[in-house]
């Protein structure tokens, strides 16, 4: 525990008179909050209020970050004004966030023996690393009670940190045990399937979610799903694979097995032993046998999925040889996944582009025209309705691409400590420096001469003191001692100026601004900016939003940034603020949006230019097609 040196504060006798007697057990209350709070941020906000009341704190604050979610909250009890404590405690909390250890600071009032303590303790995440800190004011307090209060606060925050590991909802196994029947019933409903499809951008994304979820729940080696398109099977997703190459031998073999199941219109399996061998796998189904051999003896199976008599998709599974499939197992899988086939079809239709809409509509019209009993007029009507519906009611992702530039998120300025002559500069713009590295030095010759003169004056005064003592003259001795005290003070000031003549880096980072090579030998005034330093991993992206797109840009939108120097590397970003006033850049009127990087900005340097693609949301297909033309006509023809 680090208790700082007592300091003086304004009179606190009237601003902090809350009793510190606890009214309840905080440990039990924290455990109760953990059981009733769904999210980590909400839980920590309630913990802050619990501890504030327990310690009768006039003001308390917490700052924690869980992944991309940040909580900064404050709370107070008692009649005192929280603004009285806010600025000092916020500074103390900021210092605590950098040290990641329990801290205490004792302050004494100007009048009386009352004392105030600032206490802080770190908050940890599941990995054991610090996620933030909680700080509070305890007033009044006796100095002997500071250690006990700090230990209690640390134990309570550690308990709260441990409780956050259990937040986030029940696990899959618990869900399957406690509510497995209800969950399975919901999963089999078409409404639940369509609701899940509505959250996905495409059929491939939905299929990827289905295959990976089945693989995790069933423990299969591989799960794949394909959509029936014009009497063929198109593989949409294979568990464990982000991309699918239709020309790879494995995908070709898998597609052939799915189409064999489609032709048979029944579940097929091939494995070394089991009841499926003689019952549902006649010798004519050779493709599954080849797949079984290519899988080195693993059990393989395919299940058709459809709606009524119409087959919409095929599900294929591969398991270890010692875990063969059974009839009951495949029927259960089929009943569970079959509602998702309709969802896959809807997702594919919803994510089609305009060209695909036209092709599918044309194919439907041609099929209706050539089929037996079809009517050409009806076919044209169906085609027109499909095109109209897809064009006016279908939606597509709306993304904008704008010029961007990299700027430091945090800048530390280094200024001249006093007026002096610049003697030497060791770094320039673009140099990487460590904290404590020498940046430049001011000329110290005058200061050194002043120090030598003061030391000589001290020697003279020492001689005068000795002479006064020899002459038994107290007045002369005291006068010499007073002069020595004054000279030593001037010597300390000169020594301090000599030390500050060497300017060092306050942080680890990169020199953003400060090329002093042409200024060596010139006089710099006190407070003149010499260097600007920025941390190498904290960057901000400034997006230049044209006026036409300003209305669509808002905080919270996500996107990616790619620099011209490294176009192959993309950095995820999120817009945090849009400046309310327009600016002129490169003779263009633009709005500047500031975005924070979601991960480390390794490889970026200040001033780098590039482009950012921002996901605005989904828009109607007709709007995406004609909105630029409509806006042009409105501006030119006042429509």
- Coil, strand, or helix at residue 42? helix
Task: List the Cα angle 356/359/361 in 5-degree steps.
Answer: 105
Q: What is the pLDDT of residue 371?
A: 57
CATH of domain 539-637: 2.40.30.170
What's the CATH architecture for 412-534? Beta Barrel (2.40)
- Coil, strand, or helix at residue 602? coil
The structure tokens listed for 437 are: 């590295």
Q: What is the pLDDT of residue 135?
A: 94
Residue-wise DSSP of 211-228: HHHHHHHH--SEEEEEEE
Burial of 612 (0-12, 13-18, 19+ CB in 10 A): buried
The Cβ of residue 380 has, within 10 Å, a number of other Cβ atoms equal to 13
Distance of CA 222 to the CA centre of its chain: 32
DSSP state of 196: H
Mean pLDDT by 10 residues, the chain (639 residues): 40 38 72 84 90 90 79 84 86 84 83 80 80 89 87 89 68 39 43 56 82 82 88 87 81 89 88 56 70 86 85 90 84 85 78 72 64 63 83 89 89 89 89 90 89 88 84 84 88 88 89 87 90 85 90 90 90 90 88 85 83 91 88 82
Contact 48, 89 (CB under 8 A): no
What are all long-range contacts of 552-557, with beta carbons under 8 Å and residues at least 24 apart?
552/398, 552/400, 552/616, 553/400, 553/578, 553/591, 553/593, 553/614, 553/616, 554/578, 557/614, 557/615, 557/616
Each domain of the chain, given as residue ranges in start order, spans 2-164, 184-351, 356-393, 412-534, 539-637
Within this chain, domains 2-164 and 412-534 share the same CATH topology: no
Contact 71, 45 (CB under 8 A): yes
Q: Does domain 184-351 have CATH number 3.30.450.40?
A: yes
The structure tokens listed for 342 are: 């309709």
- pTM tops 0.75: no
Tokens 């009793």 -> residue? 19
Q: What is the pLDDT of residue 16?
A: 38
Q: What is the pLDDT of residue 281?
A: 45
- Coil, strand, or helix at residue 397? strand
Tokens 């998709």 -> residue? 313
**For the domain 2-164, what is the CATH superfamily, name and number?**
GAF domain (3.30.450.40)
Burial of 278 (0-12, 13-18, 19+ CB in 10 A): exposed
| Nearest residue to 100 (alpha-carbon basis) of 60, 67, 131, 63 | 131
């Amino acid at each position: 525990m680090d208790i700082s040196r007592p300091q003086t504060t304004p009179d606190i006798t009237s601003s902090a008179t809350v009793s510190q007697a606890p009214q309840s057990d905080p440990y039990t209350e924290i455990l109760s909050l953990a059981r009733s709070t769904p999210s980590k941020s909400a839980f920590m906000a309630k913990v802050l209020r619990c501890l504030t009341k327990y310690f009768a704190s006039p003001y308390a604050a917490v700052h924690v970050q869980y992944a991309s979610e940040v909580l900064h909250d404050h709370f107070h009890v008692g009649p005192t004004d929280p603004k009285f404590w806010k600025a000092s405690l916020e500074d103390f909390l900021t210092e605590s966030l950098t040290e990641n250890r329990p801290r205490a600071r004792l302050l004494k009032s100007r009048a009386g023996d009352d004392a105030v303590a600032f206490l802080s303790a770190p908050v940890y995440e599941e990995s054991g690393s610090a996620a933030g800190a909680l700080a509070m004011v305890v007033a009044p307090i006796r100095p002997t009670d500071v250690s006990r209060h700090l230990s209690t606060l640390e134990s309570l925050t550690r308990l709260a940190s441990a409780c956050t590991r259990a937040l986030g909802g029940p696990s899959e196994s618990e869900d399957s045990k406690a509510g497995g029947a209800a969950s399975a019933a919901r999963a089999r409903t078409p409404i639940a399937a369509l609701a899940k499809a509505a959250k996905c951008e495409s059929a491939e994304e939905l299929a990827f979610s289905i295959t990976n979820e089945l693989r995790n729940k069933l423990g299969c080696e591989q799960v794949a799903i394909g959509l029936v398109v014009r009497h063929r099977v198109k593989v949409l997703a294979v568990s464990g694979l982000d991309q699918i190459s239709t020309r790879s031998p494995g995908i070709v073999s898998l597609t052939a097995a799915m189409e064999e199941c489609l032709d048979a219109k029944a579940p097929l399996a091939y494995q070394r032993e089991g009841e499926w061998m003689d019952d549902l796998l006649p010798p004519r189904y050779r493709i599954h046998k080849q797949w079984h051999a290519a899988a080195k003896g693993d059990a393989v199976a395919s299940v058709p999925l459809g709606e009524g008599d119409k087959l919409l998709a095929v599900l294929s599974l591969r398991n270890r040889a010692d875990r063969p499939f059974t009839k009951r197992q495949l029927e259960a899988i089929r009943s569970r996944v079959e509602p998702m086939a309709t969802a896959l079809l809807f997702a594919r239709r919803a994510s089609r582009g305009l060209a695909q809409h036209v092709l599918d509509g044309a194919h439907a019209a041609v099929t209706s025209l050539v089929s037996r009993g079809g009517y050409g007029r009806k076919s044209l009507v169906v085609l027109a309705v499909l095109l109209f519906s897809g064009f006016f009611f279908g939606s597509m992702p709306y993304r904008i691409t704008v010029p961007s530039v990299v700027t430091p998120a945090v800048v530390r300025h280094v200024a001249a400590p006093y007026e002096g002559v610049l003697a030497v500069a060791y770094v320039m713009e673009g140099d990487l420096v460590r904290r404590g590295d020498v940046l430049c030095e001011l000329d110290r010759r005058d200061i050194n001469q002043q120090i030598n003169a003061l030391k000589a004056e001290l020697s003279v005064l020492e001689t005068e003191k000795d002479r006064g003592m020899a002459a038994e003259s107290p007045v002369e001795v005291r006068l010499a001692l007073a002069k020595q005290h004054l000279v030593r003070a001037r010597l300390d000031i000169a020594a301090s100026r000599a030390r500050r003549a060497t300017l060092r880096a306050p942080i680890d980072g990169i020199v953003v601004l400060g090329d002093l090579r042409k200024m060596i030998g010139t006089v710099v005034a006190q407070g003149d900016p010499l260097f600007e330093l920025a941390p190498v991993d904290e960057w901000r992206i400034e997006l230049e939003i044209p006026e036409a797109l300003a209305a669509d840009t808002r905080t919270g939108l996500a996107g990616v940034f790619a620099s011209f120097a490294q176009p192959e590397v993309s950095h995820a970003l999120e817009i945090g603020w849009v400046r309310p006033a327009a600016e002129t850049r490169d003779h263009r009127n633009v709005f500047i949006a500031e975005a924070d990087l979601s991960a480390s900005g390794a490889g970026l340097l200040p001033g780098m230019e590039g482009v950012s693609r921002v996901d605005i949301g989904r828009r109607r297909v007709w709007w995406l097609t004609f909105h630029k033309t409509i806006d042009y006509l409105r501006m030119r023809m006042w429509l």
